[in-house]
Chains A and B, each alone.
Chain A
Amino acid sequence: MQDGVILAAEDLTKEFKGFYAVEGVSLNVRKGQIHALIGPNGAGKTTCFNLLTKFLSPTRGRITYKGQDITAMSPADIARLGLVRSFQISAVFPHLTALENVRIALQRQRGDSFDFWRSQKVLSQFDDRARELLADVGLAQFETTLAGDLPYGRKRALEIATTLALDPEMLLLDEPMAGMGHEDVDRIAALIKRISADRTILMVEHNLSVVASLSDTITVLARGKVLAEGDYATVSKDPRVVEAYIGAGHG
């Protein structure tokens, strides 16, 4: 294991019936960094995410988290190690209130919740912490609102609050800014910056100005392969990256 690397993938490959969505991707995410994964549509970014969190099983390759091989683990067990992901489409529990959404994550502290004979009153011990987390993302006044009724940007904020409730060491954010207005983008970007203080973040993001301002390291994917890696200045000048994005020479 390289020094300071928290999540590493070697030769990560996913084949769908002869089509390589991700091929031979190696990735090293350093502890404490914000690492962005960018690339044109269909480059395999989300597939990569699904492989790293084991929502898909890789055809080939090896994934290690904090030196531990997690290639064969189930997605729930990976989450239990402190490697928690978000989803491209906002992932809230729509018919639960904002408070209940966060509490579902806090409830994990009890271990498994198979106690169907107990009243949910035992969960009220998590209410104060849930309110703190909601206040942290600017949702204090929405705690009794059903998550499905929240505006889009607020849903993303709620999703982040829910993720943070697990106090994960590393977050994988799949397009946190997708479909957001300007104000929301700025608010969420500030939030990501703030929560990155003592955490590692790997994110897929299309909004390049957000990527430029937040990321320490950028990996560019194209057609399932790593095209370039480095900080924004390096990557943005790479001719191959420019070509992949603008499509020069593909006339």
Chain B
Amino acid sequence: MTAAIETQSGIAGQQARAGMPAHHAAIFIGLLAAGLVAPFLLYPVFVMKVLCFALFACAFNLLLGYGGLLSFGHAAYFGGAAYVSAHAAKVWGFPPELAILSGVVASAILGTVFGALAIRRQGIYFAMVTLAFAQMVFFFSLQAPFTGGEDGIQAVPRGNLFGVLSLRSDFSLYFVVLAIFLGGLLLIYRIIHSPFGQVLKAIRENEPRAISLGYRTNRYKLAVFVLSATLAGLAGATKAIVFQLASLTDVHWSMSGEVVLMTLIGGMGTVFGPIVGAAVIVTMQNYLATMGAWVTVIQGCIFVICVLLFREGVVGVLARWLKKPL
């Protein structure tokens, strides 16, 4: 009997016994390889933009896909961190690692305060509360003296990493960004596949049942909200150093919408989907930029097609074909 059970290839069982399943490890190695080759084939700044947005989308997906919480105000954490790290690097003269850390800490604090208030409401009300808070951050960014209003914070120095490695060249900065992205992704992967992640999935699937098993679900929801906001902040802070710019675009509500779009196109609730979604959206924005406002129309069409034909997103469909979670 036990032997029969052992031979069944339960995906969950395998994960529990052997850590990361082989196909996930292969994807991570593939990402690392692609990441190392990419700057030699593509414009490094473009790839860095993809990486920043991919991390942002992965952080958002942690909340939506695994926590079941739709935040419509994630630009607040992305953009808020961008402003703080840009200010820290430019005005306070922080080295890049501390500037990014300042942004991350700021978004963690912001996420804790907003999250604690937002999780008191469910569903669409939760989304509206998060949107309202993000709008407050937007108007603060527009009016506050240190944010530079319409101009944003420009010419942010990239500085020297740990005081030694100059990041002035796109090439050396690229590998720092790649390391941040992979580190962030690995952390998200671990969160999803931790005892905490298991409880999170249970709450996503059936919150009353999780409560009836004795889980104080609001604390878990707050914890994942803060983790998601913090990682979104990491993405935003890194973006500010890459583009040497923090602007109102980063905190605008359309940025919150974009990250929803990326996550849904790539595949919500899949580990790697948001990376694909971010790559698709950023590529379109870059290479179709000459078409101006039409980019938004094309994005809208893609979104409609995605919702109508493959609701699970690109990677979600792929996972169904392969019968393996991706």
Mark interface residues in B170-207 (1 if CB within 8 Å of A CB, else 0). Answer: 00000000000000000000110111111101100110
In the bound complex, residues from chain A placing their C-beta under 8 Å from that of B216 are 74, 76-77, 112
If the complex has contacts A112-B219, A143-B10, are A118 and B5 also in contact, measured as CB distance less than 8 A?
no
Given contacts A103-B198, A115-B196, A116-B223, 20 further A-B contacts (CB under 8 A): A55-B208, A75-B212, A79-B213, A85-B212, A87-B208, A91-B209, A96-B201, A99-B12, A99-B13, A100-B198, A108-B214, A113-B199, A115-B195, A118-B195, A118-B196, A119-B193, A120-B194, A143-B5, A144-B13, A166-B214
Residues B224-277 near A (CB distance < 8 A) = 227
> Do the beta carbons of A75 and B209 come within 8 Å of each other?
no
Question: Which of A92, A104, A122 interacts with B199 by CB under 8 Å?
Answer: A104
Given contacts A91-B212, A108-B215, contact A140 B1 (CB under 8 A): yes
Interface 9-mer from B14-22, B27-35, B133-141, B308-316: B14-22
Contact assessment for B199 and A107 in the assembled complex, using a CB-CB cutoff below 8 Å: yes
Is A162 in contact with chain B by the CB < 8 A criterion? yes
* Min CB–CB distance B11 → chain A (angstroms): 7
Please encode chain A, from 85 to 104, with 1 for each CB lying within 8 Å of some chain B CB and 0 for all others: 11100011111110110011
Pick the residue among B19, B201, B202 that contacts A119 (CB under 8 A).
B19
Q: Does B210 contact A (CB under 8 A)?
A: yes
The reply to whether A79 and B211 contact each other, CB–CB distance below 8 Å, is: yes
Closest CB in chain B relative to A74 CB, distance in Å: 7
Residues of B near any A CB (own CB < 8 A): 1, 4-5, 8-13, 15-17, 19, 190-191, 193-199, 201-202, 205-206, 208-217, 219-220, 223, 227
Stretch at the interface among A1-9, A58-66, A123-131, A233-241: A123-131
Contact of B12 among A94, A96, A122 (CB under 8 A): A96
Partner of A87, one of B9, B196, B212: B212
Q: Given A107-B199, A114-B223, A117-B194, are A76 and B214 also a contact pair (CB < 8 Å)?
A: yes
Chain A interface residues toward B at CB < 8 A:
53, 55, 74-77, 79-80, 84-87, 91-97, 99-100, 103-105, 107-108, 110, 112-124, 127, 131, 140-141, 143-144, 162, 166
Is B195 touching A140 in the complex (CB atoms < 8 A)?
Answer: no
Residues of A within 8 A of B191 (CB): 116-117
Q: How far is the CA of A219 from the CA of B193 in the complex (A)?
A: 46
Q: Which residues of A contact B199 (CB under 8 A)?
A: 104, 107, 113
